[in-house]
């Protein structure tokens, strides 16, 4: 008997000396200590001996579920995160900001544009936006961001699947039904370990040390209802803070998963919504103004086209056209940027410069006797520059034919441009050069028109004088003219003036 006792004593001694090298023994020792700490916490949620989560745990969650159920329905019915961002920001605006913000919608801007000149509208809107955004100082931005952080935490908490967790304690429980007391039973801890991990992560992300009354006021002010009574929510927050600080849920997870080193992440996610709101406000108003300006410009262009050509559909070129640009656009390579205005220019040169302007130029430049030869030379140079531009544009367009130099290059490289970087780059470079040349024709020819029109205006006024000061033989020219010279000159000047406006509008 003595020998057995002696052996038992040495076994215990040996175990106590070398148990530190046994990871499993150390883990069990830690779990026992965690179980002791949990029992000292005062929360009767878990029974270590049987590894069971007790009905009191279920009741705690059921009581929360019952209180936050209206809020859960509210959040389930509205999934758009922008709704909640706007809710917080609208609540935080001053009365003057709210009045100013009414002017920022597209509908308001478009309505205002009908009674106010565009430049005046743009100036006023810019001032209103600056005043509106000027009220967002650092303190206000920080306050709004904190408020939204609370809202997102509250939302995540309410949307936690309490019903799924509770049904494990009472299989007869019905979702959203609170008219009977649930029959909660003790269950195996491992059965709810993952559910509790998810809840603990949500809990630790909540700013529980904050004052929550402002969030409840958001719902009351903006929606007219309180999804949770403030006093009830404050009581829940107090309990949750105690549970978080005492690490009760972490200890239950450690015991049910047999992982003493488990720790729930304790990061409170800080939301930032004001900066993006400020940028969105600037972008929205800028885009609306841009849209309005574009509509006005297009309307002006259509009006100019009708006055000049009696149609708003002009296609004079064969290759540098919108339809010719389509294959390039489909592959995101770019486009023939100046297809419309260059076609307008070609049509104007053919249908007007080579007809009406030529008739006038033949009279005043060829038959006219100028007192200032330098003016005649300048006007003649501008006129011939316009005529030469017409031929140059035709040659430019011909090079884009599929059988010509540039057109063949694009046609050959286009099929492999989306998979071959070199082909892609060559097309883009070629297109950039083509567009640059098209713009050059537009700019230079328009300059020639302006130069021609400036002298033309002086010549028209000179014709009205009793005795010409620029041209000495007006009476002689009148006899040669098929149409009244002055009337023809005025018509030429008007058409050039309108066309220059058209090109300038397109190039803006």
Q: Say if residues 251 and 37 touch (Cβ distance below 8 Å).
A: yes
Look at residue 2 in the predicted model and tell me its pLDDT. 47
C-alpha to C-alpha distance for 215 and 223, rounded to whole angstroms: 12
| One-character DSSP codes across 175-210 | TT--SS------EEGGGGHHHHHHHHHHHHHS-TTS
Domain termination site, one of 257, 277, 312 = 257
- Say whether both 323 and 386 belong to one domain: yes
- Distance between alpha carbon 338 and the CA centroid of its chain, in Å? 28
- Say whether both 308 and 229 belong to one domain: no
Q: How many domains does the chain have?
A: 2
* SS3 assignment, position 370: strand
Is residue 319 included in any domain, yes or no?
yes
Is residue 498 included in any domain, yes or no?
yes
pLDDT along the chain (508 residues), means of 10: 50 52 87 91 90 94 95 90 92 92 87 86 91 92 94 94 95 91 93 94 91 91 86 94 93 93 82 91 90 88 94 94 93 94 96 93 93 94 96 96 92 89 92 96 97 96 93 92 91 96 92
Look at residue 1 in the predicted model and tell me its pLDDT. 47
Q: Distances from the Cα of 473 to the Cαs of 135, 461, 482, in angstroms?
A: 71, 15, 16
In 16-135, where do the E strands start and end?
A: 46-47, 52-53
C-alpha to C-alpha distance for 343 and 313, rounded to whole angstroms: 10
Look at residue 267 in the predicted model and tell me its pLDDT. 72
Buried b (16+ CB within 10 A) or exposed e, 95-113: eebeebbebbeeeebeeeb
C-alpha to C-alpha distance for 234 and 247, rounded to whole angstroms: 20
Backbone angles phi, psi at 258, to 5 degrees: 55, 40
Is residue 318 included in any domain, yes or no?
yes
Q: Distances from the Cα of 171 to the Cαs of 166, 259, 279, in angstroms?
A: 8, 28, 50
- Say whether both 80 and 155 belong to one domain: yes
Is residue 281 included in any domain, yes or no?
no
- Say whether both 343 and 427 belong to one domain: yes
Is residue 494 included in any domain, yes or no?
yes
- The range of the structural domain enclosing residue 352 comes to 304-507
Helices vs strands, H then E, count in the chain: 22, 3
- Say whether both 311 and 453 belong to one domain: yes
Is residue 488 included in any domain, yes or no?
yes
Neighbours of 308 (CB within 10 A): 22
Is residue 122 included in any domain, yes or no?
no
- Say whether both 213 and 354 belong to one domain: no
- Say whether both 393 and 248 belong to one domain: no
Domain termination site, one of 198, 226, 257 = 257
Look at residue 30 in the predicted model and tell me its pLDDT. 92
Backbone angles phi, psi at 188, to 5 degrees: -60, 135
Q: Residues, the chain, total?
A: 508
Is residue 121 included in any domain, yes or no?
no
- Say whether both 476 and 346 belong to one domain: yes
C-alpha to C-alpha distance for 193 and 479, rounded to whole angstroms: 107
C-alpha to C-alpha distance for 359 and 488, rounded to whole angstroms: 9
- Say whether both 64 and 174 belong to one domain: yes
- Say whether both 246 and 312 belong to one domain: no
Domain termination site, one of 222, 257, 292 = 257
- Say whether both 333 and 467 belong to one domain: yes
* SS3 assignment, position 187: strand
- Say whether both 331 and 249 belong to one domain: no
Among residues 469, 481, 495, 489, which one has the least CA distance to residue 348?
Answer: 495
Q: Say if residues 30 and 260 touch (Cβ distance below 8 Å).
A: yes
Look at residue 11 in the predicted model and tell me its pLDDT. 54
Q: Say if residues 61 and 162 touch (Cβ distance below 8 Å).
A: yes
């Amino acid at each position: 008997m003595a020998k057995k006792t002696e052996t038992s004593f040495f076994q215990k001694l040996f175990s106590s000396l070398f148990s530190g090298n046994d990871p499993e023994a150390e883990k069990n020792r830690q779990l026992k200590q965690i179980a002791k700490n949990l029992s000292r916490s005062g929360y009767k949620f878990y029974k270590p001996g049987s590894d069971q989560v007790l009905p009191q745990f279920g009741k705690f969650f059921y009581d929360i579920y019952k209180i936050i159920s209206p809020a859960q329905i509210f959040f389930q019915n509205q999934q758009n995160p922008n709704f909640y961002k706007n809710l917080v920001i609208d609540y935080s605006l001053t009365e003057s900001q709210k009045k100013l913000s009414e002017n920022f919608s597209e509908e308001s801007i478009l309505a205002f544009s009908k009674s106010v000149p565009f430049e005046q509208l743009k100036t006023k809107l810019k001032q209103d936006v600056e005043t509106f955004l000027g009220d967002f100082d650092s303190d206000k931005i920080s306050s709004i961001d904190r408020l939204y952080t609370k809202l997102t935490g509250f939302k995540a908490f309410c949307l936690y699947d309490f019903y799924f967790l509770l049904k494990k304690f009472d299989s007869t429980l019905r979702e959203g039904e609170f008219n009977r007391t649930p029959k909660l039973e003790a269950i195996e801890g491992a059965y709810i370990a993952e559910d509790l991990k998810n809840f603990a992560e949500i809990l630790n992300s909540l700013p529980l040390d904050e004052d929550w009354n402002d969030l409840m006021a958001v719902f009351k002010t903006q929606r007219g209802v309180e999804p949770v009574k403030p006093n009830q929510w404050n009581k829940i927050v107090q309990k949750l803070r105690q549970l978080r600080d005492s690490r009760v849920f972490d200890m239950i997870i450690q015991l049910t998963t047999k992982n003493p080193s488990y720790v729930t992440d304790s990061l409170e996610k800080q939301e930032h919504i004001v900066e993006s709101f400020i940028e969105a406000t600037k972008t929205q108003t800028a885009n609306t103004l841009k849209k309005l300006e574009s509509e006005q410009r297009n309307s002006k262009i259509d009006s100019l086209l009708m006055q000049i050509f009696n149609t708003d559909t002009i296609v004079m070129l064969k290759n540098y056209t919108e339809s010719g640009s389509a294959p390039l656009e489909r592959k995101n390579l770019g486009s023939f940027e100046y297809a419309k205005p260059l076609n307008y220019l070609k049509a104007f040169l053919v249908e007007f410069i080579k007809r009406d302007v030529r008739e006038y130029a033949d009279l005043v430049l060829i038959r006219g006797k100028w007192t200032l030869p330098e003016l005649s030379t300048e006007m003649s140079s501008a006129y011939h520059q316009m005529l030469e531009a017409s031929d140059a544009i035709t040659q430019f367009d011909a090079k884009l034919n599929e059988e010509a130099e540039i057109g063949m290059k694009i046609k050959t490289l286009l099929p492999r441009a989306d998979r071959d970087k070199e082909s892609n780059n060559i097309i883009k470079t070629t297109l950039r050069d083509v567009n640059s040349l098209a713009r050059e024709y537009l700019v230079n020819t328009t300059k020639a028109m302006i130069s021609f029109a400036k002298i033309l205006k002086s010549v028209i006024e000179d014709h009205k004088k009793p005795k010409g000061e620029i041209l000495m033989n007006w009476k002689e020219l009148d006899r040669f003219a098929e149409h009244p010279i002055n009337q023809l000159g005025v018509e030429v000047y008007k058409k050039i003036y309108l066309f220059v406006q058209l090109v300038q509008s397109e190039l803006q």
